[in-house]
Chains A and B, each alone.
Chain A
Amino acid sequence: MRKGEKAFSMILTFCVAFIFWLLLSAWNKYLLGHYDLFRLARGIIVALIVTVTAHELLVPGRGEQVLLKIQRWLLYILWELYQIVLAAIDVASRVFGLRPVDPRIIEFETTLRSDLALTTFADSITLTPGTITIDIEPERGKYTVHAIDKGPADALTVDQTMQKKVGHIFMEEG
């Protein structure tokens, strides 16, 4: 890790840790008027300890085009929330017998390789309608997925909308 990157990583980690501490330790309903210097000093000390011990875990180097990736990732989360609503409605209609239950296990390979991309896609599979991730082989990007019906299975193996979206975020379209 270069010198400038280390300073960047430590400053970012300190800001995140301190703001998180401020939000969580607001013991009264409203922040203003209830913070004196002693309490703030405790928070700063704790945030410093966290920064020194853990800054390499939170920000491991600057990477390439981080801001663009974060922007795309936030947009993707909005789409994902919509998919969560669809998933719950889909399962509810299967519970009440409006759609069939025909479970199957499918396997397919993707172009994703990095840990973050693989985890994001695995979480997305579990949150979107009718599919749950069972296993991942990270070397080949191979997923084993349990699908509740033919439709959700085809959405992963044939349409591949979500693979393309996740690959677009992390720039691993292969």
Chain B
Amino acid sequence: MLTVDLIVDIITIVFLAGGAFFMITGAVGLVKFPDFYTRLHATGKCDTLGQILIIVGCMFFEGFNFITVKLFFVVAFYLFAGPAATHAIMKAAYFTGLKPWKKGDPRM
């Protein structure tokens, strides 16, 4: 029988599973991609969506109260901090002279 609790649980599980899938994909990409810059693509983008999905799943699980509001602040902060951190790492690598990988080169 479908109750409200069950529906909330199902929504939570869907969000958490999606988040876990993208986090694992990011980790696989970190190992599989050929050089530093492309690896940052994998972690930077997959982790952003993965974290957001996991936190939104927690928001559904918690129901509507002040913990939800705090989790929402975490999501908002992550949306600003994630790209800034990725950009900072990539800029540091670029200006210390790390050569980007081109198609056809051997893996680094």
Q: Do A and B bind each other?
A: yes
Interface residues of A (CB under 8 A from B): 23-24, 26, 28-31, 84-85, 87-88, 90-92, 94-96, 100-105, 122-123, 126-127, 129-130, 132-135, 144, 146, 148
Contact of B90 among A92, A95, A129, A132 (CB under 8 A): A132
Of B22, B46, B66, B91, the most chain A CB neighbours within 10 A belong to: B66
A135 to B37, CA, bound (A): 14
Interface residues of B (CB under 8 A from A): 22, 25-26, 28-29, 32-35, 37-38, 40-42, 44-46, 48-50, 52, 65-67, 69-70, 73, 79-80, 82-84, 86-87, 90-91, 94-95, 100-103
Q: List residues of chain B with CB within 8 A of the CB of A28.
A: 66
Contact assessment for B45 and A91 in the assembled complex, using a CB-CB cutoff below 8 Å: yes
Q: List residues of chain A with CB within 8 A of the CB of B26.
A: 91, 95
Contact of B83 among A90, A123, A148 (CB under 8 A): A123
| Count of chain A to chain B residue pairs whose CB atoms are closer than 8 Å in the complex | 112
Given A26-B66, A95-B29, A132-B41, answer yes or no on A146-B100 (Cβ-Cβ < 8 Å). yes
Contact assessment for B49 and A103 in the assembled complex, using a CB-CB cutoff below 8 Å: no
Q: Name the residue on B nearest A87 (C-beta).
A: B45
Q: Name the residue on B nearest A30 (C-beta).
A: B65
Contact assessment for A127 and B48 in the assembled complex, using a CB-CB cutoff below 8 Å: yes
Contact of A101 among B22, B28, B34 (CB under 8 A): B34
Q: Name the residue on B nearest A20 (C-beta).
A: B73
Contact assessment for B83 and A31 in the assembled complex, using a CB-CB cutoff below 8 Å: no
Q: List residues of chain A with CB within 8 A of the CB of B67.
A: 29
Contact of A95 among B42, B66, B83, B87 (CB under 8 A): B42
A92 to B102, CA, bound (A): 20
Contact assessment for A101 and B38 in the assembled complex, using a CB-CB cutoff below 8 Å: yes
Q: Name the residue on B nearest A144 (C-beta).
A: B94
A100 to B102, CA, bound (A): 12
Contact assessment for A91 and B41 in the assembled complex, using a CB-CB cutoff below 8 Å: yes
Contact assessment for A123 and B80 in the assembled complex, using a CB-CB cutoff below 8 Å: yes
Q: List residues of chain B with CB within 8 A of the CB of A103.
A: 35, 37-38, 100-103
